[in-house]
Structure formats: structure tokens, C-alpha cells
């Protein structure tokens, strides 16, 4: 009989480190976008990062959401990207910053940047809380990165596994161990 698997969480980046880093990124974005910014957060994972990052800014900021689905219920990308919710506002002529939780294969953001570029923003850049550079299969240029992490599956601070764990305050590695 095969042994049962048990999930355990190990803190990788504490809530305090996240908050400190978000303040640093906010200060950089403040300095780079003095005319204001149009934030586009990718549902649902980027919600917590967006809400802290937006409050770290002192420049005028508009907020919109876009829904993208590229994952099934597992831990790897299906390779297929689908728009599940479009923006409410036009981005034409605006300085747009896409806010994402994590860049993994790059498939999602590579696709989304092409879609958004067609809508003629004045500028278009990306802020991602986490980056797993080892996993990249499609190129993505990320202007603001919170933390580079190794190739491990993480949850918390917006990130989920099968829709669970998003509300954890820390970013944790989800490990499966034998019971
Ligand atoms: P990509 O298209 O492979 O870059 O995947 C981006 C999306 O995959 C992210 O927005 C996350 O929703 C999800 N994802 C990638 N790595 C992880 C992880 O370690 N934990 C949770 N979700 C992840
Ligand atoms: Mg996501």
C-alpha cells in the first residue's frame, strides 16, 4: 500500500518582509510615475499585492482588474490562456502597470502583454511580487520584482493551491510529505 501524503506549510517570505519590500517598490513607482498610474491587477492572486502596493503609493492611481486563466487545478500551467474577465476602463494613452502575483513559465504575462499592447497604452510595464526565473519558457520583461524565488510551489498572500491558502499572511512553500 502506498503511504498517505500530508501537506505542510513552511514560511518562505514572512509578512514583515513582504510589507517592507512592497513599501520599497511603492517608493520606486512613486518616483517613476509622477503623473499618476493606471494599475491593472490580475485576478485573483494579485489582489493582496495590489491592495498593499496601491496604498504604498502617493501618486494618483486608478485601479482595474483583468481575469486570466492558465492553470487547471494542478501545480503546472496548462499552457492555454483564456481571458475570463476584461477591464472595465480603457487604457488608451495611459501609463499602465500590470500587477501580478508571480511570474512562473511566463505564458500568462507574455499573452496578456500582447493583448494590452494592442489597446495603445502610453506605457506598459509589469510589477510582480514573485519571480521564478528558472521556470521561464516564454520571455517576460518585469520592471518591478519583489522577490526571486527558487522553483518551489508557493501559496499565501494571494497565491493558491486549488483555491486554498490565499489568505495566509506569509508566502509559504507547500510541501507534501509521507505520513
Ligand atoms: P505562468 O503563466 O506560468 O507564468 O503562471 C502565472 C500564474 O500561475 C500566476 O499568476 C499564478 O496564478 C500561477 N502560479 C505560478 N506559480 C505558482 C505557485 O508557485 N503558486 C501558486 N500559483 C502559481
Ligand atoms: Mg495568477
Question: Does residue 69 line the site of ligand 1, with CB under 6 A?
Answer: no
pLDDT grade for 129, boundaries at 50, 70 and 90: very high
Q: What is the mean pLDDT of residues 32-60?
A: 97
Q: Report how far residue 83's alpha carbon sits from residue 70's, in angstroms, rounded to the nearest whole number.
A: 9
Whether 104 is catalytic is yes
Question: Does residue 131 line the site of ligand 1, with CB under 6 A?
Answer: no
The H-or-E segment that residue 51 falls in is helix 47-56
Cα of 79 vs its chain's centroid, Å: 17
78: three-class secondary structure by DSSP = strand
pLDDT grade for 177, boundaries at 50, 70 and 90: confident
Question: Does residue 104 line the site of ligand 1, with CB under 6 A?
Answer: yes
CA of 65 from ligand 1 middle (Å) equals 17
Q: Per the structure block, which three cell numbers stand in for 69?
A: 486563466
pLDDT grade for 80, boundaries at 50, 70 and 90: confident
Nearest to 10 by CA among 161, 157, 155, 159: 155
Query: Residue 73's pLDDT is what?
Result: 52
pLDDT grade for 7, boundaries at 50, 70 and 90: confident
Q: What is the mean pLDDT of residues 21-41?
A: 98
Query: Residue 74's pLDDT is what?
Result: 60
Question: Does residue 39 line the site of ligand 1, with CB under 6 A?
Answer: no
Query: Residue 1's pLDDT is what?
Result: 56
The mean predicted confidence, pLDDT, of the chain is 93
> Cα dist. 165→104, 146, 168, 178 in Å?
18, 20, 6, 21
Rounded (5°) CA angle 30-89-159? 65
Q: Name the residue with the closest Cα to ligand 1, atom 11.
A: 102
Catalytic residue (one of 104, 141, 151, 160): 104
Please tell me the number of Cα atoms within 13 Å of 40 on its side-chain side: 27
Q: Per the structure block, which three cell numbers stand in for 47?
A: 489582489
CA of 135 from ligand 1 middle (Å) equals 10
Point out the least confidently predicted range of 3-7, 44-48, 64-68, 131-135. 3-7
Predicted TM-score (pTM) of this structure: 0.93
Higher pLDDT: 80 or 103? It is: 103
Query: Residue 40's pLDDT is what?
Result: 98
Q: What is the mean pLDDT of residues 29-38?
A: 97
Q: Which of 73, 102, 112 to mutate to test the pocket of ligand 1 (most atoms within 8 A of CB)?
A: 102
84-102 confidence digits (pLDDT tens): 999 999 999 999 999 999 9
Phi then psi for residue 27, to 5 deg, are: -65, -40
Query: Residue 76's pLDDT is what?
Result: 64
Q: Report how far residue 107's alpha carbon sits from residue 136's, in angstroms, rounded to the nearest whole number.
A: 8
Cβ neighbours of residue 41 closer than 8 Å, sequence gap 6 or more: 47, 49, 50, 63, 64, 65, 66, 98, 99, 100
CA of 28 from ligand 2 middle (Å) equals 23
Query: Residue 20's pLDDT is what?
Result: 98
Amino acid at each position: 500500500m502506498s503511504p498517505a501524503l500530508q501537506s505542510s506549510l513552511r514560511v518562505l517570505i514572512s509578512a514583515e518582509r513582504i510589507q517592507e519590500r512592497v513599501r520599497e517598490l511603492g517608493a520606486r513607482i512613486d518616483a517613476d510615475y509622477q503623473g499618476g498610474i493606471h494599475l491593472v491587477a490580475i485576478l485573483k492572486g494579485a489582489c493582496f499585492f495590489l491592495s498593499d502596493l496601491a496604498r504604498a503609493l502617493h501618486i494618483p492611481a486608478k485601479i482595474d482588474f483583468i481575469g486570466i486563466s492558465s492553470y487547471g487545478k494542478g501545480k503546472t500551467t496548462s499552457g492555454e490562456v483564456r481571458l475570463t474577465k476584461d477591464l472595465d476602463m480603457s487604457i488608451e494613452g495611459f501609463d499602465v502597470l500590470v500587477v501580478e502575483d508571480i511570474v512562473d513559465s511566463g505564458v500568462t504575462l507574455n499573452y496578456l502583454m500582447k493583448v494590452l499592447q494592442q489597446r495603445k497604452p502610453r506605457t506598459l510595464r509589469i510589477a510582480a511580487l514573485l519571480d521564478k526565473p528558472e521556470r521561464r519558457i516564454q520571455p517576460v520583461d518585469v520592471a518591478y520584482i519583489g522577490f526571486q524565488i527558487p522553483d518551489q510551489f508557493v501559496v499565501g498572500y494571494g497565491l493558491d493551491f486549488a483555491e486554498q491558502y490565499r489568505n495566509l499572511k506569509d508566502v509559504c512553500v507547500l510541501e507534501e510529505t509521507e505520513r
